[in-house]
Chain A
Amino acid sequence: MKEQITSQPLRFEIQRWFGPLTTVCEMPVEITQALIDMSDKIIEDKKTKQHGSSLAGVIHKELKVYKEDLVEAGAFNFLESCVRTYVQTVADSCSMPKDVVIVSHINSCWTVSQFANEYNPIHNHTGCEISAVLYLKTPDVTGRRNIPSKQHKQDADGNITFIYNAGSERPGDIFEKGLVQFTPQAGKLLIFPSYLLHQVYPFIGEGERRSMAFNATYQIFKPGPGMEVETDTGKGVAVGELIAGSQGGIQYEKPYFLRPKEVSVVEEGNYDNHEEKNLFRGNYSDTKPK
């Protein structure tokens, strides 16, 4: 037989062309601690309002977080920048022009204090295009059940599962993924499209699994001149045609996120999206067709 060529390929790249883009962010310790302190205060404050009637969770304690709370905690700019970086990185991955105008705003936020035998059923989020969850307290709840027939099996207790598509999770197929599960860790922030279904499993025993979730809305425009949109600084920016994001306009003032605790945070903001100072170094790990 003729000798077979053994040269290495010039490029061999496994790519993922389809499906939603998500972000895993490890927050700096000072942000995590600031949010823990903030949520401690919110939980202790008897005047804090429940957010549970707007949420799917079978969970007793889901509390409203106001923009003021995030600003006072010193974490508002960080979280807004995370959202902006997510949108910008995704836009880059879609080969959008560099001069597009991106506007994004967090428009609701709440804490979830989950205790034994509580859970969050499958749901997605409305009134937004982007959703996020970050973890503040995550007790080790794995391996507590001790069911004899389940020894050596992976334990889902307390995990969050994201569900995209049953047809992408067919047994015996390694080329596609339809659901992804995370064991939460304090300090982790996950950002994802708001339509992406997700749920949290219950756990048994002691401990509080505390997370904070928020929704955000975004718009991407061609550069102006055209209509004027308002950025978080309160400045008007001339933009052209809407390319992506909310078609209903930025839902900037939600019923509770701003109103009950009024604060003039607009003066403190620093969110001029024409400059990249609010962007982190996003890492788009999957590749697209060349």
Chain B
Amino acid sequence: MQQISTQPKQFLVKKDYGPTTAEIIMPDDVTDALVKMSDGLFEDSAGLSHGQNLAGVIATELRVHQADLINAGCYEWLESAVRGYVQNSAVMNGQWQDDYEISSNINSCWTVNQFANEYNPLHNHTNCEISAVCYLKIPDVKGRRNLDSKKGKQDEDGNITFMYSASSNMPGDIFSIGITSFIPAAGTLLIFPSYLLHQVYPFIGEGERRSMAFNANYQIKTKHGGFIAGNQLGRPLPSWFIEGKQA
């Protein structure tokens, strides 16, 4: 019997489940301003370490104050990126109405100056709903190890890996993904839910892999103030972030 060969009217492969994330390419003026700002922090002998609050096996992790971001001219840009992430996620996840209102605040920020053999173990972020990382300086660390038995294999050195679920990453299953790895590129900003586990692999050899990370809170409310989503506690901004350096 002759088989029907008519094309389907629609054939849409969808990804409806799992967390939404944002991958943003920053304009050059924002990237340049943040590189310059972080140069200043790195060179400033009074730059305050944030390492005690962080998981990284990394010697130089420096606090970025709200005033630093304002002085760099990037504060509002980054806040807008966070709000854009919140609104787009709410729309994609079917939780947005046009009369809803979003408020969000970056509530901590730090640079990570990663050098050879340092790494960031698997962790997530506390006291926030949203986390982000942007890349400022990325040396080419690929292919440096030259392990005979690993020729032709993907190299994880210096990559960031986000981990969602082992059972979404079953071997031999193409329909779901539980981990995803990025090769960082200077000027890229990634925004993600703060509970999402992530880590950074070490690398060998010369070069500084410099990133800047920040956390944020958000709330979505109705125009009458009814709570829809986000931070239910109304957490205040940490004093170290807003104090210390005045714009």
Contact = CB atoms under 8 A, between A and B. Distances in A.
Do A and B assemble together? yes
B149 A197 contact: no
Contact of B163 (A122, A145, A195, A201): A122
Interface residues of B, number: 46
Interface stretch (B66-74, B91-99, B118-126): B118-126
A177 to B, nearest CB: 12
B169 A124 contact: yes
Interface string A133-146: 00000000000010
Interface of A: 50-53, 58-60, 62, 117, 119, 121-122, 124-127, 145, 147-151, 153, 155-157, 161, 163-167, 169-172, 178-179, 194-197, 199, 201-202, 204
B147 interface: yes
Interface string B204-239: 100000000000000000000000000000000000
A196 B166 contact: yes
Given A119-B119, A194-B171, A150 B124 contact: no
Interface string B135-155: 000000000010111110101
Contact of B117 (A156, A167, A202): A202
B59 interface: yes
A204 B204 CA distance: 12
A58 B145 contact: yes
B49 interface: yes
B179 A117 contact: no
Nearest to A155: B57
B114 interface: no
Given A166-B124, A179-B122, A197 B147 contact: no
A58 B142 CA distance: 12
Interface string B163-206: 11111011110000011000000000000001111010110100
B147 A171 contact: no
Contact of B195 (A51, A58, A169): A169
B149 A145 contact: no
Contact of A121 (B61, B148, B161): B161
B149 A62 contact: yes
Contact of B148 (A50, A150, A169, A178): A50
Given A52-B150, A121-B156, A121-B161, A171 B169 contact: no
A interface, over-half SS: loop
Nearest to B48: A149
A58 B171 CA distance: 20
Contacts of A171: 124-127, 194-195
24 contacts: A52-B148, A53-B150, A58-B147, A60-B149, A62-B149, A117-B204, A121-B201, A127-B171, A148-B49, A149-B52, A149-B59, A156-B57, A156-B121, A165-B167, A166-B164, A166-B196, A166-B197, A171-B127, A171-B195, A172-B126, A195-B166, A197-B179, A201-B57, A204-B117
A167 B18 CA distance: 10
A195 B171 contact: yes
Contacts of B50: 149
- Residue picked from B125, B127, B165, most chain A C-beta under 10 Å: B165
Given A50-B149, A166-B124, A170-B195, A149 B163 contact: no
Contacts of A147: 51, 57-59
Contacts of B179: 122, 197
A249 B22 CA distance: 42
Given A121-B201, A149-B52, A164-B166, A126 B172 contact: yes
